[in-house]
Amino acid sequence: MDPTLVYDTTLRDGTQGENISFSADEKLKIALRLDESGIQYIEGGWPGSNPRDMEFFDLAKRESFRNAKLAAFGATRRPGIAPEEDPNLQALVASQAPVVTIFGKTWRLHVEEIMDNTPMENLAMISDSVAFLKDQGREVVYDAEHFFDGYRDDREFALTTLATALNAGADFLVLCDTNGGSLPFDVEAITRDVDAYLAAPDVNPDGRAVRLGIHTHNDCGLAVANSIVAVKAGAVMVQGTINGYGERCGNADLTSIIPILCTKMSCSCLASSDLVKLKNLSRYVSEMANLVPLNTRPFVGKSAFAHKGGIHVNAIMKQPRAYEHLDPAIVGNKRRVLVSDLAGRSNVEYKARELGVDITANGHDSRKIVGAIKQLEQEGYQFDTADGSLKILLEKFTDQFEAMFDLEAFRITSEKDQDRPCSAHATVKITVAGSHEITAAEGDGPVSALDNALRKALSQFYPGLEKMRLVDFKVRVIDGREGTAARVRVLIESRDQDEIWTTIGVSEDIIEASWQALTDSFQYKLTKMHKTLKEKVA
């Protein structure tokens, strides 16, 4: 198949998702990262709708995009006015974006009942707006809003809106499943019908090139599938967002669409050198959005190539494709083997190699290690989600663990009055390299206070620790039948500029469980820093 153009709308449609907001500076950083990743079109926002998007396009004017064309988004002219008098179209031109994407109404329901407009005026709005923008020297992408719903209600009118945009000079005609309610077999059949209709001489007398695009939403969980079948049916542009962020249930997820097109359909929308950046791009956007990455996200999720069952692990050690549809390295991901009560020797041995631990050192037997791990899992530990703690545990089992600090004691006090929120104060006493250190700090809660106090104490000995931070904190009651005396499991996810890792603690006391997970997190980071330093010296 011919290459398909990727059109990213994370910075506009993606920000319509709940709890997602980017500043103009953040949008520019993401745009540059998308460009670096080989994306061909980046929709920056709607400059006629808010000051932030206007600021983004002002900032973008100072940058050079190597791979991508920047697109400004807006609507067709308003009813009853000329395009050159329309403030929205004027803002699109003023953005200086080389590509302008405008949406128009395709569904008679919207034209007549929502906008209180007439079909003839709606067609004039489409034609006038596209022609005006082409006269301004812009590449024009026409988004046919609610196209599939409009097609089902009135095929002739929906198709006429597309023909109007095409004959006015639109470079791309994008079929939008705005409500996200279409099914793949309908999308494929309708896309083929559109392609054939627009190629007919009586509809397209000038023989203009028909270049279709697809824009889908995920309200039925089918956004990726609908995008893929549209490409199969002839669409040459696919729109979507990184991680599927967007309104309601989200948009089509480009982190799934791109590798499917490249690896399953021989449709090279990105070069292999860019495809390998996909996981990092996904993580970068989730970090900028301040959202925890979804582990189960296909291709780029932490669990996408994770194996837990012993039989599976034994097989992939012999032939990875026995249980993997794709080499994870192609999208910048990696294979993970999980260790749990379902694990066998194969899991532990593979995981140890992955974590860089020689479990045969000092005469230890992997079978005994498997037994010990299963016993800990019985007590409430869950190492398939806590690689950081597992690495430390394996090193301890094999007498290879070198503690970067030791706890002597900690104390926590909390206070609350009617005028102020609850706050906590922690004091920690630790030993580092033979030196005793007592440090105190405050926090919003006991774990926050412990984190601040421990970080404050360790930073004196280990510069660079400020690059590590906690990103997620989970507490689970293991068995609620004991009430407040029940054991709890605490999982802490931490990250630095290179890696995300998870650590675990289990206890009847939530503070002690939190301390276990917290100290494992710091031990993991400091061990990594120490190893890097030794390698540099060597």
Task: State pLDDT tens for residues 410-459.
Answer: 999 988 777 777 889 999 999 998 889 999 999 888 999 999 999 999 98
Structure confidence at residue 319 (pLDDT): 86
> What residue type is assigned to position 8 of the chain?
D
CA distance 468 to 497: 8
| Interatomic CA distance for residues 176 and 372, integer angstroms | 55
* pLDDT confidence of residue 347: 75
The structure's pTM equals 0.74
Q: Report the number of secondary-structure helices (H) and strands (E) in the chain.
A: 18, 16
pLDDT of residue 3: 79
Residue 217 DSSP symbol: B
117: helix, coil or strand?
coil
Dig out the tokens for 37 from the structure: 């990743």
Amino acid letter, residue 163: A
Report the distance separating Cα 528 and Cα 354, nearest Å: 14
pLDDT in tens, the chain (538 residues): 567 999 999 999 999 999 899 999 999 999 999 999 999 999 999 998 889 999 999 999 999 999 999 999 999 999 999 999 999 999 999 999 999 999 999 999 999 999 999 999 999 999 999 999 999 999 999 999 999 999 999 999 999 999 999 999 999 999 999 999 999 999 999 999 999 999 999 999 999 999 999 999 999 999 999 999 999 999 999 999 999 999 999 999 999 999 999 999 988 899 999 999 999 999 889 888 888 789 899 999 988 998 877 777 778 878 888 889 999 999 999 888 776 655 567 778 888 888 888 887 767 777 788 888 888 888 888 887 788 999 999 999 888 899 999 999 999 998 877 777 788 999 999 999 888 999 999 988 899 999 999 999 998 888 888 888 888 888 888 765 555 567 899 999 898 877 889 999 999 999 999 999 999 999 999 998 887 766 665 5
Q: Three-state secondary structure along 448-501?
A: HHHHHHHHHHHHCCCCCHHHCEEEEEEEEECCHHHHHHCCEEEEEEEECCCCEE
Distance (Å, rounded) from C-alpha 101 to C-alpha 35? 18
Domains belonging to the chain, first-starting first, are 5-268 (3.20.20.70), 406-537 (3.30.160.270)
Instruction: Supply the DSSP string of 400-458, one letter for each residue.
Output: ----S-EEEEEEEEEEEETTEEEEEEEEEEEEETTEEEEEEEEESSHHHHHHHHHHHHH
Task: Give the single-character DSSP code of 77.
Answer: P
Rounded to a whole number of angstroms, the CA Rg of the chain reads 28
Give the tens place of pLDDT for each residue, 505-516: 999 999 999 999
Task: Return the pLDDT at 181.
Answer: 97
Could you tell me the two tokens for 504? 């675990």
Distance CA 183, CA 221 (A): 10
Q: Which two tokens stand for residue 301?
A: 């999720």
Under 8 Å between Cβ of 287 and 245: no
pLDDT at 160: 98
Phi, psi of 192 (to 5 degrees): -65, -40
What lies within 8 Å, CB to CB, of 254 at 6+ separation is 6, 8, 238, 240, 241, 242, 244
pLDDT at 483: 58
